[in-house]
C-alpha cells in the first residue's frame, strides 16, 4: 500500500506540474483554457474558476491534459475566435507546447536545490577489493587506491565516477582509468570497448570493470529499520549482525545481498548475533521492502564514513549545483536515447510504470530526501520523453508546428493523419517494451 501511495503522490505532482506549464503559458498568450484535468476518463471532482476553466480530477491517473479553445473543435464557438489556440502565432503555440516539459525540468532544479540546501554529501572514490578476475584486478588495482580520472576527466567522488562510466555505455574505443596507489604514484589502465554492454539489461559498468567502493563488503550489520518493514516485524533490531540466511552462512553484507537476490522464498530462516549471543528468527519478506533490503538499511562502518565529505551551501550555490545536475542528467538521458535508437544500447533498459512504482515506494521508505531525489530524476525523464517527436507527445506537436513555421502554412490533414498513425504505433511499441521489461525485472 505504501508503494502505491508513493507512486500516486509522485505521479500527481509530476502530472500537475507538467500540465500547469502548458496552462500558465497558454493563459499568458491569451488562449482560453476550457479544462485542466489530472487523469483521464470519468470525472471524479471538478470546479470552475472565474475565467471559465474547469479544473477536474479524473478516474484514470496515468496522465492529464489541458484543453484549449480551438477552431477545429466540434464544439467551437465563433465568439471565442480571439482566444483560440490555433489563431495564435506559431512561436506562441510552440511556447505553449514546450512549457510542459520545461516545467518538469524546472521542478527537478527546485527539488535538487532543496536537497542541496540540506548539505552536499560526497564520498571520495577510494577503491575496495576488486572483483576477482576482473579487468581492474588484472591491472593491479589495490584496496585503498584512489580513482582520480575516467577518460582523462578528473573525478572527485563516486557520483562523478559513476556518471563518467555510464556515459561510455554502448560506445566503442578505449576506456581510460587512472588512480593513485598507496605510494601516491599515478597508475593507468586502458580497456578496449566495442559497443560496451550494448546488449545487457540494466548494465552495471562498475561491476563489469571490477570496481567496488572501499570496504563495500562490511559485516551484515543492520542499521535503521524501515517502519513496518519485514525486519522490524520479525523482531530484528538495529545493530544485529546477520550470520545465516536461509540456512546458509553469511560472510558480509554483499554476500547477504547476493543470497537474497537469489532467494525465491517469501519466508526464510535467519540467525542473528546480538551482544555475543545467536538468536533464530523467521523473516517474512515483503515486496514493498524491495527485493534486496528486507526493510533495513546497512550500518555503514566508520572507515567509509571517514571518506565522506559534507559541505554546507548557500541558496545561490544550491541552485547552481541543481541546474548543473539537471543539465547533466538531461544530456546523459538524451545520449542513452540516441544509443538505443542506433542499437548501441538495449531497449531492455527501458522502464515502465511497475518499475517506477517500485522505485517510488523504496525511495519514500528511506526518507523525504531520497523521495525528492527520485522525484527530480523522474521529472527529468518525463520532460525528455514528452519531447520525443511522436504524436500525442509534446515533441510530436512541436515537429508539426516547426514544419508549419517553415512552410508558412500547416501540413496537410493527410500528412498529419499518417504521422499520427506511425507515431502512435511507435509509442505503443515503446510502452510495450517498457512494460515487458518491468515484468522481467519483477520476476527475475
Please list the active-site residues. Answer: 19
Measured between its terminal Cα atoms, the distance across the chain in Å is 22
Angle at 38 between CA 34 and CA 41, to 5 degrees: 85
Distance CA 394, CA 325 (A): 24
| Alpha carbon distance 326, 101 (integer Å) | 13
| Contact status, residue 51 vs residue 79, Cβ threshold 8 Å | no
Nine cell digits for residue 78: 465563433
Q: Give one DSSP letter per residue of 154-221, joined into a string.
A: E--SHHHHHHHHHTTTT--EEEEEEEE-TTS-EEEEEEEESSTTTT-SS--HHHHHT--BTT-S---B
Distance CA 271, CA 249 (A): 9
Residue with cell 527539488: 111
Cβ pair 201, 440 in contact under 8 A: yes
CA distance linking residue 97 with residue 100, whole number of Å: 6
**CA-CA distance, 329 to 123, in Å (whole number)?**
20
Q: CA 395 to CA 417: how far, in whole Å?
A: 16
Strands (E), 194-307: 222-225, 241-245, 248-249, 267-274, 277-284, 296-298
The C-alpha cell that represents 353 in the structure block: 510504470
**178 DSSP β-pair partners:** 149, 188
User: CB of 146 within 8 A of CB of 155?
Assistant: no
Nearest residue to 101 (alpha-carbon basis) of 431, 379, 410, 436 = 379
C-beta separation of 403 from 411 below 8 A:
yes
Contact 108, 143 (CB under 8 A): no
Asked if 437 and 351 count as a contact pair (C-beta separation under 8 A), the reply is: yes
Amino acid at each position: 500500500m505504501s508503494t502505491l501511495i508513493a507512486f500516486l503522490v509522485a505521479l500527481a505532482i509530476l502530472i500537475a506540474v507538467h500540465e500547469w506549464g502548458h496552462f500558465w503559458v497558454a493563459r499568458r498568450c491569451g488562449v482560453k483554457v476550457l479544462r485542466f484535468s489530472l487523469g483521464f476518463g470519468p470525472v471524479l471532482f471538478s470546479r470552475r474558476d472565474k475565467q471559465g476553466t474547469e479544473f477536474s480530477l479524473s478516474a484514470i491517473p496515468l496522465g492529464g491534459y489541458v484543453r484549449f479553445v480551438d477552431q477545429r473543435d466540434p464544439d467551437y464557438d465563433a465568439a471565442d475566435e480571439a482566444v483560440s489556440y490555433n489563431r495564435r502565432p506559431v512561436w506562441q503555440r510552440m511556447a505553449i507546447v514546450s512549457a510542459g516539459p520545461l516545467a518538469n525540468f524546472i521542478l527537478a532544479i527546485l527539488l535538487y536545490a532543496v536537497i542541496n540546501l540540506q548539505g552536499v554529501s560526497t564520498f571520495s572514490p577510494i577503491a575496495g577489493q576488486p572483483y576477482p578476475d576482473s579487468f581492474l584486478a588484472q591491472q593491479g588495482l589495490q584496496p585503498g587506491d584512489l580513482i582520480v580520472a575516467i577518460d582523462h576527466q578528473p573525478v572527485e567522488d563516486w557520483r562523478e565516477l559513476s556518471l563518467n562510466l555510464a556515459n561510455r555505455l554502448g560506445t566503442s574505443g578505449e576506456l581510460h582509468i587512472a588512480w593513485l596507489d598507496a605510494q601516491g604514484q599515478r597508475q593507468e589502465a586502458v580497456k578496449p570497448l566495442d559497443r560496451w554492454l550494448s546488449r545487457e539489461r540494466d548494465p552495471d559498468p562498475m561491476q563489469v570493470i571490477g570496481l567496488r567502493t572501499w570496504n563495500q563488503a562490511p559485516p551484515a550489520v543492520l542499521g535503521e529499520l524501515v517502519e513496518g518493514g519485514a525486519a522490524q516485524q520479525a523482531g530484528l533490531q538495529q545493530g544485529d549482525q546477520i550470520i545465516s540466511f536461509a540456512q546458509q552462512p553469511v560472510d558480509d553484507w554483499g554476500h547477504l545481498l547476493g543470497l537474497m537476490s537469489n532467494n525465491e522464498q517469501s519466508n526464510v530462516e535467519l540467525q542473528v548475533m546480538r551482544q555475543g549471543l545467536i538468536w533464530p528468527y523467521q523473516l517474512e519478506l515483503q515486496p514493498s521492502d524491495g527485493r534486496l533490503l528486507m526493510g533495513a538499511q546497512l550500518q555503514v562502518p566508520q572507515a567509509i564514513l571517514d571518506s565522506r565529505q559534507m559541505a554546507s551551501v548557500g541558496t545561490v550555490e544550491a541552485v547552481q549545483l541543481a541546474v548543473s545536475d539537471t543539465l547533466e542528467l538531461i544530456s546523459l538521458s538524451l545520449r542513452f536515447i540516441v544509443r538505443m535508437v542506433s542499437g548501441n544500447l538495449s531497449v531492455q533498459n527501458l522502464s515502465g510504470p511497475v518499475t517506477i512504482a517500485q522505485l517510488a515506494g523504496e525511495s519514500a521508505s528511506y526518507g523525504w530526501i531520497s523521495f525528492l531525489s527520485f522525484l527530480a530524476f523522474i521529472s527529468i525523464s518525463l520532460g525528455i520523453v514528452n519531447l520525443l517527436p511522436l504524436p500525442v507527445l509534446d515533441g510530436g506537436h512541436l515537429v508539426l508546428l516547426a514544419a508549419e513555421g517553415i512552410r508558412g502554412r500547416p501540413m496537410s490533414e493527410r500528412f498529419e493523419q499518417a504521422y499520427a498513425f506511425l507515431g502512435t504505433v511507435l509509442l505503443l511499441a515503446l510502452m510495450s517494451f517498457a512494460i515487458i521489461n518491468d515484468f522481467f525485472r519483477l520476476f527475475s
